Structure 1
Amino acid sequence: MAEWLKVRRFQVPMSSPLILRAIPLLFTFLWSTGWVVAGYSARHADALTFLVVRFSSAAALLTLIALATGAPWPRDRRAIIDVAITGILLHGIYLAGVWWAVRHGLPAGISGLIAGLQPILTALFAPALVGERISGLRWLGIICGFVGIALVLQPQLAGVAPAALWGIAVPMLINIGGMVAVTAGSFYQKARVVSGDLRTITAIQYVAAGLVVLPFAVAFEPMRIDWNLTMLLVLAWSVVVLSIGSIWLYLFMLRRGEVSRIVTFLYLVPALVAVEAWLLFGETLTPLQIGGMAVTILGVVLASRK
């Protein structure tokens, strides 16, 4: 998948300038729905158990797609190991860490703020790890974006007393570990998994992620899942839209662009989640949050300029 996304006779011109501009925005929107999914799934399943089912379902569906479309599988042992490592970091440790932390008392606002550290961490290490040069304008955009999401998350952060942070120290550290894992996974993907078919690569990634999360689900959860229509719809969205659609877009962007530029689009996620919560659940949008969205958009525009 370089210039064209090919599936037998169907071809999409991925090098089209319009499509290339739209991909980061589409990815950000799709990825933001993951927080809504997490809220719905919490009512019907344990966090790690749901992730095991999600990863297993995604791996099975991707394997069927790969076999049906004749997608090539990695044959080199080193390549398979590299793909598995990225799956463990990008999906397994990251999602398990975030979901477990939020389910065990970490306020969503703090979790969102921790996620906002990813572009900063990426910019700090990108020059040494992948040879990217971080301009002053990009740094300005990154800092501006972080300030913006802090404003967007302010209503959630306001209810957290400083003294209460000691009580959530473990979930907070677990969440930070997840953020570090997805950052490391992005660098590893950029440096080591530079080719291969995304259909088979992601299938292997989800097998690896599921195998890592499964023992923790068995050890620490009763593995509760309420199988009902809502649960099935949430699972379907998680697998098709998040685990396949949005991840394909993310991996495609990593292949084509700079890691430090791509991850700045994640600053838009808290703003989109706030809008989605307003539309779906009737939550309030304050003037401060709306102002924070404007600051975030400015930061992303500055940081994503080539």
Structure 2
Amino acid sequence: MIHPSLRRPGALGLAAMPGLFVLLWSTGFIGAKFGLPYAEPFTFLWLRCAFTLLALVPLVLVMRMPWPSGAGLWGHVAVSGLLVHGAYLAGVFYSIELGMPAGLTALLVGLQPLLTAACAGPLLGERLGRLQWLGLALGLVGITLVLGSKLDFSDSLFQGFGLGALASVTVALLGISLGTLYQKRFCTHMPLLSGAVIQYLAAGALFTLGAGLFETRQVTWTPTFILTLGWLVLILSIAAILLLLALIKKGAASRVASLFYLVPPVTALEAWWLFDERLPWSGLAGMAVAIGGVVLVARTAPAAGKRG
């Protein structure tokens, strides 16, 4: 029986929005897997940033969104963009480019709440409770099980990827974790949409530098690449941000946070369906343990959630 409060179309839409956001976010890893055969990572990300800005700047102007006040806040927003978008996206794309499965990449960067909670104490003065420490331990055990299930015992170290991919995904994890803490500490008054423009400008500068120094900047413009780029720009970089704005406005942002732990298994399911990426039973058990650890940390951190 449908609850009376969900009979209204608007209420049904609001109830579905958090899950839709998680579903859209999970496709970012799949988009990287689809698009990287046709463009190098920094080049791919530069194109994504450029087209996102072409769509986002007019949107901010039409909606008359306020801009950050003061040069200091602009600088802090730019630094957070270098971490949250620059280091994070570059690390994710390079790890997948170097052979790491999309599902495993999503799981490893999905440990961001664990690392953020571990760093919040010394950096923000937030204390961890017993359940949070248990969550951190479970996350480490789970990742050990997952990585152990991928060991190749040969020169490649892991099945299909080596230390370079692991280093890249570590950069992504550190970028999103430190960027979250930095944004929480210095960018609490950042307008979301116009702030995103500044963040993408900063990340775009990083991608421009990376593509110019390390890549050939050649792109194979196939229908697959064009559709993938369009999806990443319009659906992830624009629609997902607008969806998050709507959730915050409706007071449902906490529901998004509680569902974020679904991103790794959803990505793993999509990668299995599209690319036949598989984990053995020990790896699946490790994924469940790691996700359980993330849930414990995310749901037992009221102090962290109330700040900023």
Same topology, TM > 0.5: yes
Contact 1:138 1:302 (8 Å CA) reproduced: yes
| In 2, Cα distance between equivalents of 1:110 and 1:291 | 13
Q: Secondary structure at the match of 1:188?
A: helix
Is the 1:52–1:214 Cα contact (8 Å) retained in structure 2?
Answer: yes
2:113–2:294 contact (8 Å) kept in structure 1: no
- Amino acid corresponding to residue 158 of structure 1 in structure 2: L
The AA in structure 1 aligned to 2:191 is D
The alignment's TM-score, normalised by the length of structure 2, stands at 0.76
What's the counterpart of residue 281 of structure 1?
275
- Does residue 1:53 correspond to 2:51, yes or no? no
- In structure 2, the CA distance between the partners of 1:248 and 1:147, relative to structure 1 (3 Å rule), is farther
Partner residue in 1 for 2:132: 138
The one-letter amino acid of 1:164's match is L
Q: What whole-Å deviation, never above 9, does each CA across 1:112-165 have from its counterpart, x for those lacking one? A: 56535533321221123233332111222333344445555665x133647737
Is the CA contact 2:113–2:297 (under 8 Å) kept in the aligned structure 1? no
Shift of 1:222: 1.2
Q: CA–CA distance in 2 between the matches of 1:172 and 1:44?
A: 22
Shift of 1:296: 4.5
Corresponding residue for 1:71? 65
1:29-77: CA deviations, max 9, x gaps? 3322111111100122111101001011112211010111111122411
Aligned pairs, how many? 286
Of all paired residues, the percent bearing the same amino acid is: 37
The answer for the alignment partner of 1:100 in structure 2 is: 94
Residue in 2 that maps onto 1:164 = 157
Q: Distance in 1 between matches of 2:282 and 2:244?
A: 30
Taking a change above 3 Å as real, the CA distance of residues 249 and 58 of structure 1, as seen in their structure-2 partners, is same
5 Å-filtered alignment, 1:81-120, equals 81-104=75-98, 111=105, 114-115=108-109, 117-120=111-114
Q: TM-score, normalised by structure 1?
A: 0.76
Cα distance in 1, alignment partners of residues 248 and 14 from structure 2: 15
Aligned twin of 1:230: 224
1:204 aligned onto 2:198? yes
Which residue is equivalent to 1:7?
none
Q: Contact 2:53–2:200 (CA<8 Å) still a contact in 1?
A: yes
Question: Any gaps of 5 or more consecutive residues in structure 2?
Answer: 1-9, 301-308
Q: Which runs of 5+ in 1 are unaligned?
A: 1-12
Letter in 1 for 2:67: W
Change (3 A) 1:294 1:118: closer
Which residue identity does 1:230 align to in structure 2?
Answer: T
Structure 2 counterpart SS, 1:164: coil
Counterpart AA for 2:56: L
